[in-house]
A = this chain, B = another copy of it.
């Protein structure tokens, strides 16, 4: 349940999509790593907040307690700590596992690919963070998915908001996961969850409400830097200062047009410590309505400066920032678009079919195809002793093979091959 086979047409589309993402990661100088699908259970515990219950656990095999990885970020942090690496730019494309309620029509599965790019190391502020946003911008532009916006916020600003509104520190993380729902439900519902389930005071909730409904650009940053309450909070001030720097760098990259500083963005995971971001596609729901509607997140990430330290025996920290591309949702969109266009994606790359027009010529076909393979040419033949020529040409048309190399008795006698263009039916002897 919640998993799927990928038949050839899907596998081919997926290969095309992954290769676009990976070539962007390589363009930014990342190296690949690979880690096991299995991790020790204890590695994954306490990293995913309320979602820890979604981790797939393996049966005790009389040795180690194992689980399937939930994302690629925690294994990366574990890898850095284990190998005492303090500086690395890596990408990783692999499957992750969540024992979630699958919603396969919306592209939510229990097994799915993630494509992650992360920069680990102690650097000057916001330069790697800006590159992560540039990468999201490049990929979404490259894939031509239509209009999008990248929402940006900072956990320090959010914590500052909670603090100045009188929320006790122990409730920051629960408050965070409630705020995170603002992109799906209206403020009133979020407010009532805060007061009801999370036990915040109504005054605190109202105070938070005034902040988290704000979004804008550099102007909003400046405004909040002047905010009498928020500007008194040390971490919030640092966060706002970094946000200003980030916008400066993004201006040099020429991408601020797609960036929105959005105080409602919280992201669910425990491990973020600084900048957080999320890209959503915008869709004109109705031609007559001006407003555009979000069709969901297709990339997200942020800064997690404390995660690597959790795996180091001495707690040594390695600051990290990274982005994960939501390949499954993008795949669903591309798949629907391909279907609508009626375009048929070839599932093989075969260049030529080796064919014979008469019987008793299997040996000639085997000899010729062997020569073609040895010359590096992608070639197929039908696995029949005496196939009909029509069937052979039909196979070319069905599978998109552009050429047929035909050897008949005459060609054998003359020491030539007849090369036929399947589409135009033109033939040359060679």
Contact = CB atoms under 8 A, between A and B. Distances in A.
Given A61-B99, A64-B1, A90 B367 contact: no
Contacts of A373: 27-28, 134, 138
Nearest to A249: B366
B36 A370 contact: no
Contacts of A31: 8, 11-12, 347-348
Contacts of A15: 32
Given A1-B64, A12-B32, A26-B378, A385 B124 contact: yes
A6 interface: yes
Nearest to A385: B124
Contacts of A27: 373, 376-379
**Residue among A6, A14, A31, A385 with max Cβ neighbours from chain B (10 Å):** A31
Interface stretch (A52-60, A149-157, A296-304, A336-344): A52-60
B33 A7 contact: yes
Contact of A32 (B11, B33, B59): B11
8 contacts: A5-B34, A26-B378, A27-B373, A29-B350, A56-B61, A59-B59, A252-B363, A254-B370
A425 interface: no
A303 to B, nearest CB: 13
Contacts of A63: 1
Interface in A59-78: 59, 61, 63-64, 68
A97 B61 CA distance: 13
Interface in A359-398: 362-363, 366-367, 370, 373-374, 376-380, 383-385
Contact of A56 (B29, B58, B131): B58
A210 B162 CA distance: 83
A79 B10 CA distance: 14
B34 A14 contact: yes
A220 interface: no
A423 to B, nearest CB: 19
A377 to B, nearest CB: 7
Contacts of A252: 363, 366-367, 370
Contact of A8 (B8, B61, B90): B90
Given A26-B349, A31-B347, A253 B366 contact: yes
A111 interface: yes
Given A30-B348, A348-B29, A3 B38 contact: yes
A121 interface: yes
A4 B82 CA distance: 12
A226 interface: no
Given A59-B59, A64-B1, A28 B380 contact: yes
Contacts of A4: 36
> Residue among A6, A7, A12 with the most chain B CB within 10 A?
A7
Contacts of A82: 5
A128 interface: yes
A391 to B, nearest CB: 13
Nearest to A14: B34
A38 B111 contact: yes
Would you list the 9 A-B pairs with minimal beta carbon distance, nearest first? A123-B383, A8-B31, A29-B380, A3-B36, A6-B34, A31-B347, A11-B32, A252-B366, A29-B350
A143 interface: no
A37 interface: yes
A19 to B, nearest CB: 12
A428 interface: no
